[in-house]
Structure 1
Amino acid sequence: MSNEGYLSYARYGKDKVRVFRIVREGKWHHVVEYNVCALLEGAIETSYTQADNSVVVATDSIKNITYYLAKTSPHILHPERFAIHLGSFLVKKYPHIHKAFVSVEKLRWKRIEVDEKEHPHAFFRDGEDLRVTSVEIDGTQGKDKLVAKVTSGIKGLLVLKSTGSAFENFIRDEFTTLVEVNDRIFSTSIDLSYTFSPFPISITDGNSGEVSAVDDGKGTPWDGESVAELARKVTLEVFAKDESASVQATLYKMAQDIISAQPHVTDVQYALPNKHYVPVDMKYIGLENLKPDSAEVFVPLAAPSGLISARVLR
């Protein structure tokens, strides 16, 4: 057995590229804010094994390309499309680069309403959750046969309902101290991801790396806006309406509804950490605050917390 190691994996690029873009249509403005990460794979081994920088695209150049496309790409308002454009540009431009991996976090901005009408250029942050997408552009079969592998979702969507949740009939043994309850607060910070079928794309302009969908049918990554809207709607509605026997059961219903509604989605993953609210014991002062029907004052506990996760495949 050799005592020497070998390079089995190499990927590098620029992370945390912060982008804010205004798109003006006369007096009507659109804004997006992204956190972008763009990484490259290809014939770059010698930069690691032989200190050969002649194969290295500087990470500063990757940052500058991100800003260039943020200015020139017609897809900037759509995170899936922009990530596909950026990744395709990088793979197309550099002959020795065979794959690009682009991740985009979209921050929330919503129009302010004035006199019950949306303002044309005033916005507010209406939540701290992020819309996320990760795109792999695979050019290993040729620069004219690019394939996009896209996963999108939501990160950090904080939700709570004050009833409609229970947790009973779980295993009890000598280590069990948790009391069964048929009515409780259910709160979690939702992380959701859904993966699309691999998606062929074409370069329509060799200079700009402009891309188009080979099949731009509804529900594909090219139509990421409608899928994101439905996934968020399903997640919130199931959470609100489900008479939850457990976090696990509610999670499964969410995932099944997305799979059923989106034929181009191949799998759905959720991670649901419990946000615990513990009723305060007020018996010392003669007040009942522990029973489900009388508990009204709670202490939020950040840790430790349960973490429920699952992946549902088509």
Structure 2
Amino acid sequence: MAPFTLASAKYGKEKVRVFRVVKSGTWHEVVEYTISVLLEGQIASSYTKADNSVVVATDSMKNTINVFAKTSPHVLTPELFSLHLGTHFVSEYEHIGKAIVTVISHRWSRIPLDQKPHPHAFTRDGNDVTRIEAIITKSNSGSTSAELSTGLQDLLVLKTTGSAFENFIRDKWTTLPEASDRILSTSVDCRCAIKMNLPSDGSLAISSLANLGIDFKAIGKSVREITLETFATDESASVQATLYKMCQLILTAHTEILSVSYSLPNKHYIPIDLSWHDNIQNTSVQDAEVFVPLEAPSGLITATVSR
């Protein structure tokens, strides 16, 4: 057989669902996560020689997640929880050099009663989620470093005016009319790369997680608010222009963010031609009131803005 090289390999467990309740008397805190873990390292022989002696079973990864959901002091902060898990895997197994941990945090907000948050009753007040990715890498000397991103996913937004799309290239392939005003809708995916305040040697240890000094909850709240406010108020010349403004505002507000990435599908709403019935006008900017939402195709606008 011809000589081949295993160019890259990683494996792990995905879609691990956990729900944790932290009780302080009658006051309860809750989190719900969907977690995936991927491991890299000296695992080539499991592929090339059918050698399972280097394999950490993916079921063991699931078990680790479940135990950490009970025992980790960082479980209520998904960013720290992802770092805790990743640092554990590269520390526990000598031959594992990298752990990639993705945590999806699902929304649960307290139900307000008598203008006060209920101590142990919650509602899911949105289908958007917080998505965290931690990449923990172990050096040859055994020290660990981390890359961390946090942000929004599946935040569905729409506005009925304040968006135009004009002066784009028109050639023999163009059928799209220019629009001085239109519906703008997208499902926001935002990723913020976080500057890690690591010790002078650049290493990350489980014992130092509590001392990172980053208010992840405040960052998440601010990123969501900036995204929504900018989307709502910007007189948008294009999705690209609005995206860039969002990135600028986030980077200005948070020095601990190194870069901001957005992925914004342009969800189209097309005015329906009703002129066949009593000459009802519904296609011009001033008349359009009834639309058909298009599932596909959609535009897709992405960018990363860094310092």
Moved more, 49-58 or 152-161: 49-58
Determine which of 270, 288, 296 is the counterpart of 2:289. 296
Match for residue 241 of structure 1? Answer: 233
Match for residue 206 of structure 1? Answer: none
The answer as to whether partners of 1:165 and 1:185 remain within 8 angstroms in 2 is yes
Match for residue 207 of structure 1? Answer: none
The answer as to whether partners of 1:99 and 1:140 remain within 8 angstroms in 2 is no
Are 1:262 and 2:254 an aligned pair?
A: yes
- What 5-or-longer segments of structure 1 have no aligned partner? 204-209
Match for residue 157 of structure 2? Answer: 159
Report the 3-state secondary structure (helix = DSSP H, G, I; strand = E; otherwise coil) of the residue aligned with 1:212: helix
Amino acid in the other structure paired with 1:54: S
Determine which of 267, 272, 279 is the counterpart of 2:271. 279
Q: Distance in 2 between matches of 1:281 and 1:95?
A: 66
How far is the alpha carbon of 1:215 from its aligned partner? 5.7
The answer as to whether partners of 1:280 and 1:297 remain within 8 angstroms in 2 is yes
Counterparts of 1:1-314 in structure 2, within 5 Å, are 3-143=2-142, 145-198=143-196, 200=198, 202-203=204-205, 210-213=206-209, 216-218=212-214, 223-284=215-276, 285-314=278-307
Superposition TM-score, scaled by structure 2 size: 0.94
Q: Distance in 1 between matches of 2:59 and 2:33?
A: 18
Q: Distance in 1 between matches of 2:210 and 2:90?
A: 18
Q: Distance in 1 between matches of 2:226 and 2:93?
A: 41
Report the 3-state secondary structure (helix = DSSP H, G, I; strand = E; otherwise coil) of the residue aligned with 1:283: coil
Q: Distance in 2 between matches of 1:83 and 1:237?
A: 29
Q: Distance in 1 between matches of 2:25 and 2:196?
A: 37
How far is the alpha carbon of 1:212 from its aligned partner? 2.2
Deviation per CA, 1:217-269, whole angstroms, max 9, x where unpaired? 34xxxx32221111111111110110001111001101111122222222211
The answer as to whether partners of 2:16 and 2:34 remain within 8 angstroms in 1 is yes
Q: Distance in 2 between matches of 1:298 and 1:8?
A: 49
The answer as to whether partners of 2:158 and 2:186 remain within 8 angstroms in 1 is yes
Number of residues paired by the alignment? 302
How far is the alpha carbon of 1:198 from its aligned partner? 4.9
Q: Distance in 2 between matches of 1:193 and 1:122?
A: 30
Amino acid in the other structure paired with 2:267: K
The answer as to whether partners of 1:149 and 1:199 remain within 8 angstroms in 2 is no
Amino acid in the other structure paired with 2:135: E
Deviation per CA, 1:282-313, whole angstroms, max 9, x where unpaired? 22222221221221111111111111111112
The answer as to whether partners of 1:147 and 1:199 remain within 8 angstroms in 2 is no
How far is the alpha carbon of 1:155 from its aligned partner? 1.1
The answer as to whether partners of 1:19 and 1:35 remain within 8 angstroms in 2 is yes
The answer as to whether partners of 1:130 and 1:155 remain within 8 angstroms in 2 is yes
Moved more, 62-71 or 225-234: 225-234
Q: Distance in 2 between matches of 1:262 and 1:135?
A: 19
How far is the alpha carbon of 1:109 from its aligned partner? 0.9
How far is the alpha carbon of 1:202 from its aligned partner? 4.3
The answer as to whether partners of 1:12 and 1:39 remain within 8 angstroms in 2 is yes
Deviation per CA, 1:85-132, whole angstroms, max 9, x where unpaired? 011111111122121110000111111111211111111111111100
Q: Percent identity?
A: 52
Report the 3-state secondary structure (helix = DSSP H, G, I; strand = E; otherwise coil) of the residue aligned with 2:67: helix
Alpha-carbon RMSD across the aligned residues, in angstroms, is 1.6
How far is the alpha carbon of 1:141 from its aligned partner? 4.6
Superposition TM-score, scaled by structure 1 size: 0.92
